[in-house]
Chains A and B, each alone.
Chain A
Amino acid sequence: MIEEGRALFLQIAESVEDAIIDGSLAEEAQAPSTNELAAFYRINPATAAKGVAMLADKGVLYKRRGIGMFVAPGARELLLGERRTAFAVRFVDPLLVEARKLGLTPEDLELLIRDRASVPAASTTEGNAR
Protein backbone atom coordinates (compact mmCIF):
# COMPACT_ATOMS: atom_id res chain seq x y z
CA MET A 1 0.00 0.00 0.00
CA ILE A 2 2.77 2.37 1.01
CA GLU A 3 5.98 2.25 -0.96
CA GLU A 4 9.50 3.13 -0.02
CA GLY A 5 11.46 6.03 -1.33
CA ARG A 6 8.64 8.53 -1.84
CA ALA A 7 7.48 11.16 0.60
CA LEU A 8 4.63 9.64 2.59
CA PHE A 9 2.44 12.73 2.55
CA LEU A 10 2.48 12.66 -1.26
CA GLN A 11 1.34 9.06 -1.24
CA ILE A 12 -1.44 9.88 1.20
CA ALA A 13 -2.56 12.80 -0.97
CA GLU A 14 -2.47 10.54 -4.02
CA SER A 15 -4.64 7.91 -2.33
CA VAL A 16 -7.31 10.55 -1.69
CA GLU A 17 -6.93 11.82 -5.26
CA ASP A 18 -7.39 8.30 -6.61
CA ALA A 19 -10.67 7.99 -4.71
CA ILE A 20 -11.86 11.29 -6.19
CA ILE A 21 -10.82 10.28 -9.70
CA ASP A 22 -12.52 6.88 -9.61
CA GLY A 23 -15.63 8.51 -8.16
CA SER A 24 -15.71 6.64 -4.84
CA LEU A 25 -15.24 10.00 -3.16
CA ALA A 26 -17.76 12.34 -4.81
CA GLU A 27 -17.51 16.11 -5.02
CA GLU A 28 -19.00 17.81 -1.96
CA ALA A 29 -18.59 14.57 -0.02
CA GLN A 30 -16.70 14.62 3.24
CA ALA A 31 -13.08 13.54 2.83
CA PRO A 32 -11.45 11.14 5.30
CA SER A 33 -10.05 13.00 8.29
CA THR A 34 -6.38 13.24 9.14
CA ASN A 35 -6.87 10.82 12.01
CA GLU A 36 -8.76 8.33 9.86
CA LEU A 37 -6.00 8.40 7.27
CA ALA A 38 -3.32 8.02 9.94
CA ALA A 39 -5.08 5.04 11.50
CA PHE A 40 -5.80 3.37 8.16
CA TYR A 41 -2.31 3.72 6.73
CA ARG A 42 -0.65 3.35 10.15
CA ILE A 43 1.31 6.53 9.80
CA ASN A 44 2.07 9.53 11.94
CA PRO A 45 -0.96 11.89 12.02
CA ALA A 46 1.30 14.86 11.28
CA THR A 47 2.25 13.22 7.99
CA ALA A 48 -1.38 12.59 7.10
CA ALA A 49 -2.15 16.22 7.97
CA LYS A 50 0.56 17.36 5.58
CA GLY A 51 -1.03 15.36 2.75
CA VAL A 52 -4.47 16.80 3.49
CA ALA A 53 -3.03 20.33 3.68
CA MET A 54 -1.43 19.85 0.28
CA LEU A 55 -4.79 18.89 -1.22
CA ALA A 56 -6.41 21.92 0.39
CA ASP A 57 -3.71 24.21 -1.06
CA LYS A 58 -4.33 22.71 -4.47
CA GLY A 59 -8.05 23.41 -4.19
CA VAL A 60 -9.00 19.73 -4.23
CA LEU A 61 -10.37 19.83 -0.69
CA TYR A 62 -11.91 22.66 1.25
CA LYS A 63 -12.62 23.14 4.90
CA ARG A 64 -16.02 23.49 6.49
CA ARG A 65 -15.45 25.02 9.84
CA GLY A 66 -15.99 22.61 12.70
CA ILE A 67 -17.05 19.76 10.44
CA GLY A 68 -14.05 18.74 8.39
CA MET A 69 -12.64 18.62 4.89
CA PHE A 70 -14.83 18.23 1.81
CA VAL A 71 -14.14 17.53 -1.85
CA ALA A 72 -14.26 20.80 -3.78
CA PRO A 73 -16.56 21.14 -6.78
CA GLY A 74 -14.49 20.70 -9.95
CA ALA A 75 -11.85 18.69 -8.07
CA ARG A 76 -12.24 15.64 -10.30
CA GLU A 77 -11.74 17.66 -13.51
CA LEU A 78 -8.72 19.35 -11.99
CA LEU A 79 -7.14 16.03 -11.04
CA LEU A 80 -7.98 14.38 -14.36
CA GLY A 81 -6.22 17.22 -16.20
CA GLU A 82 -3.20 16.90 -13.97
CA ARG A 83 -2.99 13.13 -14.30
CA ARG A 84 -3.43 13.22 -18.08
CA THR A 85 -0.51 15.59 -18.37
CA ALA A 86 1.59 13.32 -16.19
CA PHE A 87 0.46 10.24 -18.11
CA ALA A 88 2.82 10.84 -21.02
CA VAL A 89 5.85 11.13 -18.77
CA ARG A 90 4.92 8.39 -16.36
CA PHE A 91 3.64 5.75 -18.76
CA VAL A 92 4.20 6.58 -22.43
CA ASP A 93 7.87 7.57 -22.22
CA PRO A 94 9.03 4.37 -20.47
CA LEU A 95 6.92 2.40 -22.94
CA LEU A 96 8.70 4.05 -25.86
CA VAL A 97 12.12 3.41 -24.34
CA GLU A 98 11.42 -0.29 -23.90
CA ALA A 99 9.83 -0.53 -27.36
CA ARG A 100 12.89 1.02 -28.97
CA LYS A 101 15.08 -1.46 -27.16
CA LEU A 102 13.02 -4.30 -28.64
CA GLY A 103 12.90 -2.83 -32.12
CA LEU A 104 9.19 -2.05 -32.02
CA THR A 105 8.13 0.97 -34.05
CA PRO A 106 5.40 3.39 -32.90
CA GLU A 107 3.19 1.75 -35.57
CA ASP A 108 3.83 -1.68 -34.04
CA LEU A 109 2.93 -0.22 -30.66
CA GLU A 110 -0.29 1.24 -31.99
CA LEU A 111 -1.34 -2.14 -33.35
CA LEU A 112 -0.33 -3.80 -30.13
CA ILE A 113 -2.35 -1.37 -28.03
CA ARG A 114 -5.46 -1.80 -30.20
CA ASP A 115 -5.03 -5.54 -30.06
CA ARG A 116 -4.67 -5.65 -26.29
CA ALA A 117 -7.48 -3.18 -25.73
CA SER A 118 -9.93 -5.38 -27.63
CA VAL A 119 -9.20 -8.34 -25.33
CA PRO A 120 -11.21 -8.25 -22.10
CA ALA A 121 -8.87 -7.28 -19.28
CA ALA A 122 -7.72 -10.46 -17.65
CA SER A 123 -4.05 -10.42 -16.85
CA THR A 124 -3.59 -6.70 -16.38
CA THR A 125 -3.45 -6.64 -12.61
CA GLU A 126 0.13 -5.43 -12.51
CA GLY A 127 -0.95 -1.92 -11.68
CA ASN A 128 1.95 -0.61 -9.67
CA ALA A 129 3.58 1.41 -12.42
CA ARG A 130 4.58 4.83 -11.24
Chain B
Amino acid sequence: MTTGTHVIEVKNLTKRYRDVVAVGDVSFTIEKDTIYGLLGRNGAGKTTVMSILTAQNFATSGDVRVFGLQPYENAKVLSRMCFVRESQKYPDDAKPGHAFAAARIFFPHWDQELADRLIADFQLPMKRRIKKLSRGQLSAVGVIIGLASRAEITFFDEPYLGLDAVARQIFYDRLLEDYTEHPRTVILSSHLIDEVANLIERVLVIDRGRIVMDEATDAVRDRAANIVGDASAVDAFVQGRQVIHRESLGNVASVTVLGALTLADRERLAAAGLDVAPVSLQQLIVRTTQHAADQSALDEGALR
Protein backbone atom coordinates (compact mmCIF):
# COMPACT_ATOMS: atom_id res chain seq x y z
CA MET B 1 0.00 0.00 0.00
CA THR B 2 3.13 1.92 -0.52
CA THR B 3 2.25 4.85 -2.67
CA GLY B 4 5.56 6.62 -2.59
CA THR B 5 4.26 9.82 -1.00
CA HIS B 6 5.71 10.92 2.29
CA VAL B 7 3.58 11.96 5.21
CA ILE B 8 6.53 12.57 7.49
CA GLU B 9 9.94 13.93 6.62
CA VAL B 10 12.68 14.20 9.21
CA LYS B 11 15.97 15.89 8.41
CA ASN B 12 19.01 15.93 10.68
CA LEU B 13 16.91 15.70 13.82
CA THR B 14 18.90 16.00 17.03
CA LYS B 15 17.59 16.01 20.58
CA ARG B 16 19.92 16.70 23.46
CA TYR B 17 19.08 16.59 27.16
CA ARG B 18 21.90 18.55 28.77
CA ASP B 19 24.94 16.56 27.65
CA VAL B 20 23.05 13.40 26.72
CA VAL B 21 22.29 12.95 23.03
CA ALA B 22 18.93 11.14 22.88
CA VAL B 23 18.61 11.44 19.11
CA GLY B 24 21.64 12.22 17.01
CA ASP B 25 21.31 13.71 13.53
CA VAL B 26 18.59 11.39 12.31
CA SER B 27 16.97 11.59 8.87
CA PHE B 28 14.16 9.45 7.51
CA THR B 29 10.82 9.60 5.77
CA ILE B 30 7.56 7.84 6.50
CA GLU B 31 5.45 6.76 3.55
CA LYS B 32 1.71 7.18 3.37
CA ASP B 33 -0.62 4.29 4.26
CA THR B 34 2.15 2.01 5.45
CA ILE B 35 2.55 0.14 8.73
CA TYR B 36 5.98 0.74 10.24
CA GLY B 37 7.72 -1.03 13.06
CA LEU B 38 9.81 1.39 15.09
CA LEU B 39 12.11 -0.96 16.93
CA GLY B 40 15.01 -0.62 19.28
CA ARG B 41 16.14 -1.08 22.84
CA ASN B 42 14.90 0.88 25.83
CA GLY B 43 16.42 4.33 25.79
CA ALA B 44 17.30 4.07 22.08
CA GLY B 45 15.28 7.21 21.34
CA LYS B 46 11.99 5.82 20.00
CA THR B 47 9.67 7.71 22.32
CA THR B 48 11.69 10.90 21.89
CA VAL B 49 11.30 10.72 18.11
CA MET B 50 7.57 10.04 18.34
CA SER B 51 6.96 12.83 20.82
CA ILE B 52 8.83 15.32 18.65
CA LEU B 53 6.85 14.24 15.58
CA THR B 54 3.63 14.81 17.49
CA ALA B 55 4.79 18.17 18.84
CA GLN B 56 4.84 16.99 22.44
CA ASN B 57 8.55 17.65 22.69
CA PHE B 58 10.98 20.06 21.07
CA ALA B 59 13.87 19.20 18.82
CA THR B 60 17.27 20.65 19.66
CA SER B 61 17.95 21.03 15.96
CA GLY B 62 16.81 19.66 12.63
CA ASP B 63 13.66 19.85 10.57
CA VAL B 64 10.46 17.87 11.06
CA ARG B 65 7.60 18.01 8.57
CA VAL B 66 4.29 16.25 8.91
CA PHE B 67 2.03 16.47 5.86
CA GLY B 68 4.62 18.95 4.63
CA LEU B 69 4.05 21.28 7.60
CA GLN B 70 5.64 21.94 10.95
CA PRO B 71 3.57 20.22 13.63
CA TYR B 72 4.11 22.72 16.48
CA GLU B 73 0.87 24.40 17.58
CA ASN B 74 -0.55 23.47 14.25
CA ALA B 75 -4.07 22.19 14.90
CA LYS B 76 -4.51 21.25 11.25
CA VAL B 77 -1.66 18.79 11.54
CA LEU B 78 -2.26 17.60 15.10
CA SER B 79 -5.89 16.54 14.58
CA ARG B 80 -4.71 14.22 11.81
CA MET B 81 -2.31 12.40 14.16
CA CYS B 82 -2.92 10.17 17.15
CA PHE B 83 -0.16 9.30 19.61
CA VAL B 84 -0.92 6.44 21.97
CA ARG B 85 1.64 6.77 24.72
CA GLU B 86 2.73 3.98 26.93
CA SER B 87 2.19 6.13 30.02
CA GLN B 88 -0.77 8.28 29.06
CA LYS B 89 -2.13 10.34 31.97
CA TYR B 90 -5.84 10.92 32.45
CA PRO B 91 -7.68 13.18 34.93
CA ASP B 92 -8.17 11.52 38.32
CA ASP B 93 -11.93 11.13 38.15
CA ALA B 94 -12.14 10.25 34.43
CA LYS B 95 -13.84 7.06 33.33
CA PRO B 96 -13.05 5.38 29.99
CA GLY B 97 -16.16 6.98 28.50
CA HIS B 98 -14.78 10.45 29.22
CA ALA B 99 -11.53 9.65 27.44
CA PHE B 100 -13.45 8.31 24.42
CA ALA B 101 -15.77 11.34 24.38
CA ALA B 102 -12.77 13.66 24.31
CA ALA B 103 -11.16 11.64 21.52
CA ARG B 104 -14.44 11.76 19.58
CA ILE B 105 -14.36 15.57 19.67
CA PHE B 106 -10.70 15.81 18.77
CA PHE B 107 -10.42 13.28 15.93
CA PRO B 108 -12.53 14.04 12.85
CA HIS B 109 -12.58 10.41 11.64
CA TRP B 110 -13.51 8.91 15.02
CA ASP B 111 -15.63 5.76 14.58
CA GLN B 112 -17.88 5.16 17.57
CA GLU B 113 -19.08 1.79 16.29
CA LEU B 114 -15.51 0.53 16.13
CA ALA B 115 -14.83 1.92 19.61
CA ASP B 116 -17.90 0.12 21.00
CA ARG B 117 -16.85 -3.11 19.37
CA LEU B 118 -13.34 -2.84 20.81
CA ILE B 119 -14.73 -2.03 24.28
CA ALA B 120 -16.62 -5.32 24.07
CA ASP B 121 -13.60 -7.19 22.66
CA PHE B 122 -11.36 -6.04 25.49
CA GLN B 123 -14.16 -6.37 28.08
CA LEU B 124 -13.33 -2.93 29.35
CA PRO B 125 -15.21 -1.99 32.55
CA MET B 126 -16.78 1.33 31.55
CA LYS B 127 -18.08 2.21 35.03
CA ARG B 128 -14.69 2.10 36.70
CA ARG B 129 -12.47 5.15 36.92
CA ILE B 130 -9.38 4.95 34.70
CA LYS B 131 -7.22 5.38 37.80
CA LYS B 132 -8.59 2.10 39.15
CA LEU B 133 -8.07 0.10 35.94
CA SER B 134 -5.47 -2.63 35.72
CA ARG B 135 -2.37 -2.01 33.64
CA GLY B 136 -3.82 -4.12 30.81
CA GLN B 137 -7.16 -2.31 30.90
CA LEU B 138 -5.35 1.02 30.81
CA SER B 139 -3.46 -0.15 27.73
CA ALA B 140 -6.79 -1.20 26.19
CA VAL B 141 -8.10 2.37 26.59
CA GLY B 142 -5.11 3.61 24.60
CA VAL B 143 -5.44 0.93 21.94
CA ILE B 144 -9.16 1.72 21.50
CA ILE B 145 -8.44 5.43 21.09
CA GLY B 146 -5.62 4.67 18.66
CA LEU B 147 -7.74 2.43 16.45
CA ALA B 148 -11.10 4.22 16.62
CA SER B 149 -9.56 7.66 15.99
CA ARG B 150 -8.68 6.46 12.47
CA ALA B 151 -6.14 9.26 12.36
CA GLU B 152 -4.11 9.52 9.17
CA ILE B 153 -0.99 8.84 11.21
CA THR B 154 -1.22 6.76 14.38
CA PHE B 155 1.67 6.13 16.73
CA PHE B 156 1.48 3.23 19.12
CA ASP B 157 4.27 3.41 21.68
CA GLU B 158 4.48 -0.04 23.24
CA PRO B 159 0.72 -0.28 23.43
CA TYR B 160 0.64 -3.79 24.85
CA LEU B 161 1.91 -3.33 28.43
CA GLY B 162 -0.14 -5.57 30.69
CA LEU B 163 -2.16 -6.97 27.81
CA ASP B 164 -2.20 -10.75 27.82
CA ALA B 165 -1.54 -12.83 24.70
CA VAL B 166 -5.24 -13.01 23.82
CA ALA B 167 -5.75 -9.26 24.14
CA ARG B 168 -2.61 -8.57 22.09
CA GLN B 169 -3.87 -10.84 19.35
CA ILE B 170 -7.18 -8.94 19.38
CA PHE B 171 -5.21 -5.73 18.95
CA TYR B 172 -3.14 -7.08 16.04
CA ASP B 173 -6.19 -8.58 14.31
CA ARG B 174 -8.32 -5.44 14.66
CA LEU B 175 -5.42 -3.28 13.51
CA LEU B 176 -4.94 -5.33 10.33
CA GLU B 177 -8.68 -5.54 9.69
CA ASP B 178 -9.27 -1.84 10.09
CA TYR B 179 -6.11 -0.92 8.19
CA THR B 180 -7.28 -3.06 5.27
CA GLU B 181 -10.59 -1.21 5.13
CA HIS B 182 -9.17 2.20 5.97
CA PRO B 183 -5.53 2.34 4.92
CA ARG B 184 -3.49 4.79 6.95
CA THR B 185 -0.03 5.27 8.33
CA VAL B 186 0.71 3.36 11.51
CA ILE B 187 3.94 3.53 13.47
CA LEU B 188 4.16 0.72 15.95
CA SER B 189 6.89 0.75 18.55
CA SER B 190 7.38 -2.64 20.12
CA HIS B 191 9.83 -4.92 21.87
CA LEU B 192 7.81 -7.97 20.88
CA ILE B 193 9.39 -7.97 17.46
CA ASP B 194 8.39 -11.47 16.43
CA GLU B 195 4.77 -10.74 17.29
CA VAL B 196 4.59 -7.76 14.97
CA ALA B 197 7.01 -8.98 12.27
CA ASN B 198 4.19 -10.05 9.93
CA LEU B 199 2.17 -6.88 10.41
CA ILE B 200 4.77 -4.33 9.53
CA GLU B 201 5.64 -3.45 5.97
CA ARG B 202 8.76 -1.51 6.86
CA VAL B 203 11.21 -1.63 9.76
CA LEU B 204 12.95 1.33 11.30
CA VAL B 205 15.50 0.31 13.88
CA ILE B 206 16.86 2.98 16.15
CA ASP B 207 19.93 2.30 18.24
CA ARG B 208 21.47 4.79 20.63
CA GLY B 209 19.84 7.72 18.92
CA ARG B 210 20.66 6.64 15.38
CA ILE B 211 18.73 4.87 12.64
CA VAL B 212 20.55 1.61 11.93
CA MET B 213 17.95 -0.04 9.70
CA ASP B 214 15.29 1.48 7.42
CA GLU B 215 14.00 -1.17 5.06
CA ALA B 216 11.11 -3.24 3.75
CA THR B 217 10.47 -6.04 6.23
CA ASP B 218 10.39 -8.62 3.47
CA ALA B 219 13.84 -7.59 2.28
CA VAL B 220 15.20 -8.15 5.77
CA ARG B 221 13.70 -11.57 6.35
CA ASP B 222 16.28 -13.59 4.42
CA ARG B 223 19.05 -11.14 5.18
CA ALA B 224 20.86 -13.39 7.61
CA ALA B 225 21.28 -17.08 8.32
CA ASN B 226 22.69 -19.22 11.09
CA ILE B 227 25.28 -21.72 9.92
CA VAL B 228 25.63 -24.61 12.34
CA GLY B 229 28.02 -27.56 12.40
CA ASP B 230 31.63 -28.59 12.78
CA ALA B 231 33.53 -25.48 13.82
CA SER B 232 36.32 -25.73 11.25
CA ALA B 233 33.85 -26.36 8.41
CA VAL B 234 31.69 -23.44 9.60
CA ASP B 235 34.68 -21.13 9.78
CA ALA B 236 35.80 -22.16 6.31
CA PHE B 237 32.35 -21.32 4.95
CA VAL B 238 31.93 -17.97 6.68
CA GLN B 239 35.36 -16.71 5.69
CA GLY B 240 35.00 -13.47 3.77
CA ARG B 241 31.38 -13.05 4.87
CA GLN B 242 30.10 -10.56 7.37
CA VAL B 243 29.74 -12.39 10.67
CA ILE B 244 27.49 -10.71 13.21
CA HIS B 245 27.43 -13.38 15.86
CA ARG B 246 29.34 -16.49 16.80
CA GLU B 247 28.92 -19.03 19.53
CA SER B 248 30.35 -22.48 19.97
CA LEU B 249 29.99 -25.57 22.09
CA GLY B 250 32.86 -28.03 21.93
CA ASN B 251 33.69 -28.36 18.27
CA VAL B 252 30.24 -27.27 17.08
CA ALA B 253 29.87 -23.64 16.06
CA SER B 254 26.82 -21.54 15.28
CA VAL B 255 27.60 -18.44 13.28
CA THR B 256 25.18 -15.76 12.08
CA VAL B 257 26.17 -14.33 8.72
CA LEU B 258 24.69 -11.42 6.81
CA GLY B 259 23.71 -11.77 3.18
CA ALA B 260 21.13 -13.99 1.50
CA LEU B 261 22.42 -17.46 0.64
CA THR B 262 22.58 -18.39 -3.02
CA LEU B 263 21.71 -21.80 -4.37
CA ALA B 264 25.45 -22.46 -4.81
CA ASP B 265 25.98 -21.55 -1.14
CA ARG B 266 23.31 -23.98 -0.10
CA GLU B 267 24.83 -26.77 -2.16
CA ARG B 268 28.21 -26.06 -0.63
CA LEU B 269 26.70 -26.13 2.85
CA ALA B 270 24.92 -29.40 2.18
CA ALA B 271 28.11 -30.96 0.83
CA ALA B 272 30.02 -29.82 3.92
CA GLY B 273 27.32 -31.31 6.13
CA LEU B 274 26.45 -27.93 7.65
CA ASP B 275 22.97 -26.95 8.73
CA VAL B 276 21.30 -23.68 7.90
CA ALA B 277 18.82 -22.25 10.36
CA PRO B 278 16.71 -19.19 9.62
CA VAL B 279 17.17 -16.01 11.60
CA SER B 280 14.00 -14.32 12.76
CA LEU B 281 13.55 -10.57 12.47
CA GLN B 282 13.90 -10.35 16.24
CA GLN B 283 17.18 -12.30 16.26
CA LEU B 284 18.51 -10.24 13.38
CA ILE B 285 17.76 -6.97 15.14
CA VAL B 286 19.17 -8.21 18.45
CA ARG B 287 22.31 -9.38 16.69
CA THR B 288 22.67 -6.19 14.66
CA THR B 289 22.29 -3.89 17.65
CA GLN B 290 24.56 -6.09 19.78
CA HIS B 291 27.12 -6.16 17.03
CA ALA B 292 26.97 -2.38 16.67
CA ALA B 293 27.43 -2.01 20.44
CA ASP B 294 30.45 -4.32 20.42
CA GLN B 295 31.93 -2.50 17.45
CA SER B 296 31.59 0.92 19.03
CA ALA B 297 33.06 -0.44 22.27
CA LEU B 298 35.99 -1.67 20.19
CA ASP B 299 36.32 1.66 18.40
CA GLU B 300 36.28 3.57 21.65
CA GLY B 301 38.84 1.20 23.07
CA ALA B 302 41.08 1.77 20.06
CA LEU B 303 40.87 5.51 20.50
CA ARG B 304 42.20 5.38 24.02
Contacts and interface: CB of A to CB of B under 8 A. Distances in A.
Contact of B180 (A7, A9, A35): A35
Contacts of A5: 221-222, 225, 277-280
B177 A8 contact: no
Contacts of A7: 218-219, 221-222
Contact of B199 (A9, A44, A49, A50): A44
B270 interface: yes
Interface stretch (A61-69, A73-81, A93-101, A112-120): A93-101
B180 A101 contact: no
Contact of A101 (B218, B222, B273): B273
Nearest to B169: A42
A47 interface: yes
Interface string A71-107: 0000000000000000001000110010001000000
Contacts, number: 70
9 contacts: A4-B280, A5-B277, A5-B279, A7-B219, A7-B222, A38-B176, A45-B1, A46-B2, A89-B263
Contacts of B2: 46
Interface string A28-41: 00000001001101
Contacts of A39: 176-177, 180
Contacts of A89: 263
A99 B2 CA distance: 48
A39 B198 CA distance: 11
Interface in B186-221: 198-201, 217-219, 221
A10 B34 CA distance: 20
Contacts of A50: 218
A32 to B, nearest CB: 14
A35 B1 CA distance: 12
Interface residue range, chain B: 20 to 34
Given A9-B218, A93-B270, 15 more contacts: A3-B278, A5-B222, A5-B279, A6-B222, A7-B219, A7-B221, A38-B176, A41-B198, A42-B176, A43-B198, A44-B200, A44-B217, A47-B198, A47-B217, A97-B273
B28 interface: no
B7 to A, nearest CB: 16
B113 interface: no
Most buried by B among A4, A49, A101: A4
Contacts of A109: none
Most buried by A among B217, B218, B271: B218
A42 B35 CA distance: 13
A44 B219 CA distance: 14
Nearest to A97: B270
Interface in A1-27: 2-9
Contacts of B278: 3-6
Given A5-B225, A5-B279, A46 B273 contact: no
